[in-house]
Amino acid sequence: MQNLLKNREMLLALIIIGMILGFTTRAPNFANPDNLVTIFNDTSILIILALGQMVVILTKSIDLSVAANLAFTGMAVAMLDSAFPGLPLALLVLLAIGIGAALGAINGFLVWALQIPPIVVTLGTLTIYRGMSFVLSGGAWVNAHQMQPDFLGVPRLPVLGLPILSWVAIAVILLIGFILARTAFGRSTYAAGGNPVAAIYAGIDVGRARFLAFVLSGALAGLSGYLWVSRYAVAYVDIAAGFELDSVAACVIGGISIAGGIGTVIGTVLGALFLGVIKNALPVIGISPFAQMAISGIVIVLAVVFNARAEAKKGRIILRDRAAGKEATA
């Protein structure tokens, strides 16, 4: 039982299952398979965005501009689809990913080349990208009737019981899992955040790893921009306002260390699903939006405290083992 409780991902999965069962007592259809599919689909964009955020956090950085990136990219591709109805959907999706990656590269360049703290850079670009979205659109909305049917309809198409939006999220989960576990960039990401000094001595370019992490985060934010606009059938300046905090919260709840170098893809996905279950359940059982914000905030603070205590215990174990080794040699 102790080993089970020490496994962060297993514990979080059990908490999510317990929450679903608990909410079912108030809303009998909450655990219905169709409703669970809807919850996963509703959380898919957050999962994609949080996975990009996770890669950045692993390098001991943070990207507060992901939601603004999403908003600008979503507005850009929606306007293109409206102005040029003949553009292939695949091209628009690639443009969304490319625009997002370019905005992420700006963040990465400022952090890497100019050595500006990531929180300062991305707090500034958050405002810049929101402003760019307003300038691009003139403050106007792009509504459903201005977009093409395939632009709006493809993410909603069901395949094997799940909408394509959900399958895209699953594909991104597998892709990020492969990148972090099987590529040199993935290993560099953990090393850059876990021990930057040792990483440099090992020949790892920490600045380059952080730059590429921001590019990847930006690309996923760009993809999320298209998915958001197509799912909700509207593009405006303030879409996904505050969503950057949800992406950070999903990472923290999932056990990603803000200090860098610690965390898993499964943990991030479970953190996002935890938030997804809460956001879907609380309105059903009659909790006010303000109480929902308070509950989410409490959960985030508890997750940070839990992470800090877990990391402190690991540090004490290392020191204790070293002390034992010195006594043995003496």
C-alpha closest to that of 240 among 122, 51, 54, 71: 71
User: Mean pLDDT per 10-residue run, the chain (330 residues)?
Assistant: 62 90 85 92 96 96 96 96 93 97 97 93 96 92 92 92 95 97 94 89 91 97 96 93 90 89 93 90 75 74 71 52 49
pLDDT at 4: 47
pTM of the predicted protein model: 0.90
**CA 242 – CA 296 distance, rounded (Å):** 13
Beta-carbon count within 10 A of 149 CB: 8
**For the chain, counts of helices (H) and of strands (E):** 14, 4
- CA distances (Å), origin 21, targets 24, 254, 281: 5, 20, 11
pLDDT at 25: 84
Token match 């009737």: residue?
Answer: 145
The string of DSSP codes covering 47-80 is HHHHHHHHHHHHTT---TTHHHHHHHHHHHHHHH
Angle made by CA atoms 94, 107, 273, in degrees to the nearest 5: 65
pLDDT at 309: 66
Angle made by CA atoms 252, 256, 185, in degrees to the nearest 5: 140
pLDDT at 310: 66
**b/e per residue, 261-290, with b = 16+ CB within 10 A?**
bbbbbbbbbbbbbbbbbbbbbbeeeeeeee
Cα end-to-end distance, the chain, whole Å: 37
Longest CA–CA span in the chain (Å) reads 79
